[in-house]
Amino acid sequence: RKEVEQDPGPFNVPEGATVAFNCTYSNSASQSFFWYRQDCRKEPKLLMSVYSSGNEDGRFTAQLNRASQYISLLIRDSKLSDSATYLCVVNRGLNYGGSQGNLIFGKGTKLSVKP
Amino acid sequence: GAGVSQSPSNKVTEKGKDVELRCDPISGHTALYWYRQSLGQGLEFLIYFQGNSAPDKSGLPSDRFSAERTGGSVSTLTIQRTQQEDSAVYLCASSSNPTDTQYFGPGTRLTVL
């Protein structure tokens, strides 16, 4: 199983739609979770952290299911400007003192919102 | 405050030449990362610096790649004898600690002709 897995998409949705992405991770010791957004030909930028109880930021809702080791991102009322690639990011666990820093980036899910 | 900066933003070079890419992390960030991203692909980890510890070089694709971080701040990534397959966007990120959010620079787009 890959450390972080995401459906690459693309997800093509009309404006105003609700869309959800899932991400699974393999390390049960992981404790920090994030969603990043990457626009075409731009650098990744933090969208939101994911907390154990779930959290919401405007139209965006993030959920964490530790038992099943997956994270989700829900986008309501999609806008054209939401078109981007969404990266799931997981840390390796606080006791991990080894390589590759401590964050693992998924390959991303591409979202395209159409008028 | 100032974010992560990288220079140059674009670099076109001929096969076989050496190139040097620069990254200025956010002030005070002890962790610095280099990644590579080819068109339409995910992030490929290259190297990681944490404070004064020895860097983790496990992601460097060949011995033509090297990086250093001077004074715990600015980092340079050097690619010797560039090949066409080295063409990609090279991204630098920094964070206040290894478990925290990483903030990315705008990247250097390298094209090897």
Q: What is the pLDDT of residue A30?
A: 86
Looking at the complex, report in whole angstroms how far the Cα of residue B17 sits from the nearest Cα belonging to chain A.
Answer: 25
Task: Determine whether the interchain pair A44/B59 forms a contact, defined as Cβ–Cβ distance below 8 Å.
Answer: no
pLDDT of residue A97: 53
Q: Who wins on pLDDT, A100 or B91? A: B91
Mind telling me how many Å the CA of B25 is from chain A's nearest CA? Answer: 14
Mutate which of B53, B101, B108, B110 to test chain A, going by most A C-beta atoms within 10 A? B101
How do residues B7-61 score in pLDDT, each as one tens digit?
999 999 999 999 999 999 999 999 999 999 998 888 998 999 988 888 888 889 9
Residues of B in contact with A41 (CB under 8 A): 89
DSSP annotation of B56 reads B
Q: Give the pLDDT confidence score for residue B1 in this predicted structure.
A: 59
* Of residues A89, A76, A111, A82, the one with CA closest to residue A31: A89
**pLDDT greater than 60 at residue A95:** no
State the Cα–Cα distance between residues A39 and A20, nearest whole angstrom. 18
Q: Please tell me the predicted confidence (pLDDT) of residue B58.
A: 85
Q: Is B74 on the interface with A (CB under 8 A)?
A: no
B90 within 8 A of B35, measured Cβ to Cβ: yes
Angle made by CA atoms A86, A89, A91, in degrees to the nearest 5:
175
pLDDT recorded at residue A101 = 61
Q: Do A100 and B91 touch (CB under 8 A)?
A: no
Cβ neighbours of A32 in B, within 8 Å: 99-100
Q: How many contacts does A have with B, using Cβ atoms within 8 A?
A: 54
Give me the residue from A31, A98, A105 closest to B42, CB to CB: A105
pLDDT in the model for residue A69: 94
Q: What is the pLDDT confidence band of residue A94, given thresholds at 50, 70 and 90? A: low
pLDDT exceeds 80 at position B110? yes
Distances (CA, A) of A83 to A68, A109, A110, B89: 28, 11, 8, 21
B72-89 pLDDT, tens digit each: 799 999 999 999 999 999
pLDDT digits (tens, 9 = 90+) for A56-93: 999 999 999 999 999 999 999 999 999 999 999 998 76
**Taking CB atoms and an 8 Å limit, are B98 and A101 in contact across chains?**
yes
Is the Cβ pair A100, B41 closer than 8 Å? no
Higher pLDDT, B99 or A34: A34
Contact B92, B34 (CB under 8 A): yes
At A16-50, the pLDDT tens digits run 999 999 999 998 888 889 999 999 989 999 999 99
